[in-house]
A = this chain, B = another copy of it.
Amino acid sequence: MNITIIGTGNVATRLGVALKAANHTIVQIIGRNAQTGHDLAQQLNCRFDDSTQKVDPNAELIIIAVSDNALENIIAELPVTTALVTHTAGSMPMSLLQCFNNHGVIYPFQTLSRQKEIDMTQVPLLIEGNTPTTTDQLGKLAKTISNRVTMVTSEQRQQLHLAAVFACNFTNHLYAIAHRLLTEKGLDFALIRPLIEETAAKIWTLPPHEAQTGPAVRHDDKVMEKHLKTLATAPDLQTLYRQLSAHIMASHQKK
């Protein structure tokens, strides 16, 4: 399959590298950033173009891997094409692409970095197509680079994206708070590594609701008061501590 990739960022790079390694032909990279565009084109052994007007007429698949904010403009700019046109955004519906006869979504459900190689076979690729044929085409393509290909609707993909905000973006922010608390007292952040890793590992043998530990789920008011006192100089963290503890207590009362 001849593939044009629009975008030169993290997702464009990781998908491009994996597709090339699986012997697909990347014919073209299109992007606004000439520097990263030329670099990626060189890496994928294809040509670089700086305008969506220059889409290769031989492209059979166009993958738009740009930021959510830029996506709608790029779609509006694209010339009419019979190629299968896809985007890669978790929070955007497939219907944005309905002006193209053949369209769909390939959403890599992982945090990707241009700089960091990743074993793409382990990255869940969430697929949606506008017809059984396009779904089938995208599924087959996805399976050449990942062992975790799943068909999901736009609604399900939106829910996965939302769940990821809780389980990953918010979680990472809590790690940053722990980092702040430890370094403040001259403690090595690495001390908490086994605990973070065990917490992330345990939920695959025990559902997270059942795995809950800590003062809030035990309603241990004494310890919570002590923690809030320790946070006296950080009122923002006191507030967050109270909010999260209250939600844990409410969630475990219902059961």
Contacts and interface: CB of A to CB of B under 8 A. Distances in A.
Total copies of the chain = 2
Nearest to A243: B243
Contacts of A164: 178, 192, 195
A24 B180 CA distance: 38
**Chain A residues touching B, range:** 35 or more
A193 B185 contact: no
Grouping DSSP codes into helix (H, G, I), strand (E, B) and loop, the A interface class, with mixed when no group exceeds half, is helix
Interface string A101-138: 00000000111000000000011101000000000000
Nearest to A90: B223
A236 B227 contact: no
Interface string A67-86: 01100000000000000000
A165 interface: yes
A190 B160 CA distance: 11
Interface string A208-247: 1101111111001011001100110000100111011001
A182 interface: yes
Interface of A: 68-69, 91, 109-111, 122-124, 126, 148, 150, 152, 155-156, 158-182, 184-200, 202-204, 207-209, 211-217, 220, 222-223, 226-227, 230-231, 236, 239-241, 243-244, 247-248, 250-251
29 contacts: A69-B220, A109-B192, A110-B198, A111-B199, A122-B194, A156-B186, A156-B187, A158-B226, A159-B230, A160-B182, A160-B191, A160-B192, A162-B181, A162-B227, A164-B192, A167-B178, A168-B213, A168-B214, A169-B248, A172-B213, A173-B208, A173-B247, A174-B174, A179-B209, A190-B204, A197-B200, A236-B247, A236-B250, A236-B251
